Chains A and B, each alone.
Chain A
Amino acid sequence: MTESATVTRRNFLAGTGLAAGALLSGSALAACSSQSNGRTDLQLWIDITGAANEKYFSTHVIDVFEKADRKVEVDTTFYQGQDLRRVIQTALQARSGPDLVRGASASLTQAWSKAHTLADLSSYAAKDHWSSKISSWALKPFITGSKLYALPMRVDTMLLYYNKTLFGQKNWKAPTNRDELEALAEEAAGHGIIPFGATNVDWSAASEWLMTVFWNHYSGPQAIYQALTGQIPWTEPTFVEAVELLQSYFNKGWMGGSTAKYYSVPSATMGAQFGDGKIAMFPQGEWWMSSLGQFFGSAAHNGNDWDWAPLPALQSGIRYPLYEIGVGGSLGISAYSSHPSQAAQFLNWYYGDTQQALQRMADVPGTYNIPIPFSASSLPSGMDPRSRRLVTATQQAMATGDFGYVTWTWWPPKSDTFVYQGLDQVLTGKMTAKEYCAQLNQIFRQEMKAGTIPPTLKPGRYQA
């Protein structure tokens, strides 16, 4: 008994010693000052996942910047999307967190700005002439009064991807209107092919992508603009009908194979089915272009290829092609950063070095499309033609005024959350389309009174 007592005491002390040593070294690391040998260390937390993507970001963004600006270092921590929001918000509330703040959506960024946790970028913008480096329409959601509180990180739009090889085999053409779309869907379903891929599993807000599509291509941008500015309510029949149309596609089993599959099949599996020709079309954001490739061709051991087309008009009178446009999140500076001017230097490089920016756009399709002005001829020659078409199409849409509004940029925060959470209730039969629109209207009106609606983009032409 004595023996075991001594042994345990020795183990105890040894264990404590080991643990204490490790803990102290851990604390020492944390206590390191953020300035070493004259270089400033900036913290960036970002939602880039996957080994290849992280590597690209580290080598082609961070390393390139650090070589260009030898006084600033950027330490990056990678997070999953759903965690990043919680983690940054928690840190900001504690007056700490990263220097460079990545906001997942415009409405979230606005909420953070309203709580005075984001630094005012107006002085840097003026000094470095950001208004000429960044498209003005993209800056609009991030301006309150005269303050600029974040920069737009990606031009978002919705596309209709389709299995080009399958379409070639069946002699199908990309649909331009609702009749063509539904005829195509019927025919595909008849062949046992799922007409549209869709899944909620990897991104719980996926339902708002679909709602964006249906509101823009059925109700139209004009109606949306009027609703966003409060001229008409969200209970207008056109909005309700759009929801019902979407619901009908789900009820027909056209979306993902069934409503239940929409909620349980991961996008990797659906992507694989899409690549194999078991799914015909996929309404998805332009960001999907970066991961789509793995499901086609030699990477996936099928001889198939993909392409994209603009989403069809779902009602007569709606323009085609029409691109609903938005901003995929933001990049800003924390109000609690101790190195805001160095952080601004990074931002200045990220948006200002056009050649690097275009190279990134070409290297990884659909990921680094920042809203900067460029001419089509300056795009790198090695760029995937489908990616090239995308960036020129969105730029053109803004120039000609044929654009719509995505919910995650132009809707206020609580309404935006309700758009997808409420739609989930509609799709699972807990709410009717009418009740959904009524509740959305109620929430929207409250936010209107509270003044949390982001500045709305007036219909018109916008030069990049």
Chain B
Amino acid sequence: MSGRQRKGRLGRALIYALLVVLALFALGPLVTLVFDALKTNAAIGANPLTPPTSPRLSNFATAWTQGDFSVTMRNSVIICLGTMLGVCLIAGLAAYALSQFDLPGENGVIAYLFLGTALPVQLFLVPLFFLWTKLHLTNNLLGLIIIFWATESPFATLLLRSYLLKIPKEFVEAARLDGASEVRSLFRVLLPLAWPGLMTIALISGLFAWNEFFFSITFIFQPGLRPIATSFLAFQDQNSTDWGLTSAAALFMVVPALLLFLGVQRRFVSGLTAGGLR
């Protein structure tokens, strides 16, 4: 083995070693969730961070019924899908307008969008609730989804716009020349090019909607409409924390989000690769 090859081998080994360290750092804490979900409370009290000696699945069954997860998971799926679809549509149209045309006042709109990502949402709670009550949008999944559209769309628009900027204007121009109407040119030409970008904002807004708890608790009070974060929080009873049940509940919340990510991650990353962020 030449010196250079040996150096290459060592370098490679070192890189993998470092990656494993980072992976343990990222995944380790959440692995304790899996461990604790499989243990009894006594075992957790003795040793909260080690693998279970005699794993049992009863925590999952108990947590599922106690947390009413069948209802809350369904609600969160609806909220998540609704948010993703809405954000993709709203941000998609807006990003298209801001990237493919030279609009007067475009900079103003962009500055305004940046500002939109900067406002502290806790302040809006009371006036927004007041408005939503008047519009009969409280205690209503659609009402919550509309709020999420408003909070997520500015950032999504900015992100998507940067992808679309990389697409040469000639593509769309040529399609328009072919006699295609605006909408046709959108769907046929731009959509496939922008698809990875759309996947990116769908993922980010979907994860946000799935994990959100602050607005969800305030705007929805009918138990049958509550999202999954409330199920999890219900296990954090101040008087007694059954960490085994809480861990199982946590996994019910984490695993679907993870599946969503795995489902779109190839497109997500290829989208980032092709578009970059500008």
Interface residues of B in 129-155 (CB under 8 A from A): 129-130, 132-134, 136, 138-142, 145
Known contacts A8-B195, A83-B217, A91-B129: A290-B239 contact under CB 8 Å: yes
CB of B78 within 8 A of CB of A15, answer no
A49 within 8 A of B: yes
- A-B pair count, CB < 8 Å, reads 115
B45 within 8 A of A: yes
CB of B238 within 8 A of CB of A272, answer no
Q: How far is the CB of A270 from chain B (nearest CB, A)?
A: 11
Q: How far is the CB of A125 from chain B (nearest CB, A)?
A: 28
Known contacts A18-B81, A90-B125, A266-B241: A5-B191 contact under CB 8 Å: yes
B188 CB contact (under 8 Å) in A2, A83, A87? A2
Known contacts A30-B222, A31-B136: A22-B191 contact under CB 8 Å: no
A229 within 8 A of B: no
Interface SS of chain A: helix, strand, loop or mixed?
Answer: helix
- How far is A43 from B221 in the complex, measured between Cα atoms in Å? 10
CB of B238 within 8 A of CB of A15, answer no
User: Chain B 224-262, CB within 8 Å of chain A: the 1/0 string?
Assistant: 110000000110111111000000000000000000000
Nearest B residue to A266 via CB reads: B241
Nearest A residue to B187 via CB reads: A5
**Which segment, of A93-101, A170-178, A444-452, faces chain B?**
A93-101
| Size bracket of the A interface | 35 or more
A50 CB contact (under 8 Å) in B42, B129, B195, B237? B237
B273 within 8 A of A: no
Known contacts A51-B66, A96-B138: A19-B85 contact under CB 8 Å: yes
- How far is A45 from B220 in the complex, measured between Cα atoms in Å? 12
Return chain B residues, CB-CB under 8 Å to A91. 129, 133, 221
CB of A80 within 8 A of CB of B233, answer yes
CB of B81 within 8 A of CB of A19, answer yes
Known contacts A5-B188, A50-B237, A203-B238: A23-B223 contact under CB 8 Å: no
Return chain B residues, CB-CB under 8 Å to A27. 140-142
User: Chain A 240-280, CB within 8 Å of chain B: the 1/0 string?
Assistant: 00000000000000000000000000111001100000000
A389 within 8 A of B: no
Pairs A-B, 4 closest by C-beta atoms: A202-B238, A291-B239, A26-B141, A94-B133
Q: A23-B142, A23-B145 are in contact. List 11 more A-B contacts (CB 8 A).
A: A5-B187, A5-B191, A9-B187, A15-B81, A19-B81, A19-B82, A80-B238, A90-B129, A94-B126, A268-B240, A291-B240
Question: Could you tell me which A residues sit within 8 Å of B by CB distance?
Answer: 1-2, 4-5, 8-9, 12, 15-16, 18-19, 22-23, 26-27, 29-31, 43, 45, 49-51, 75, 77-81, 83, 86-87, 90-91, 93-96, 98, 202-203, 266-268, 271-272, 290-291, 294, 301
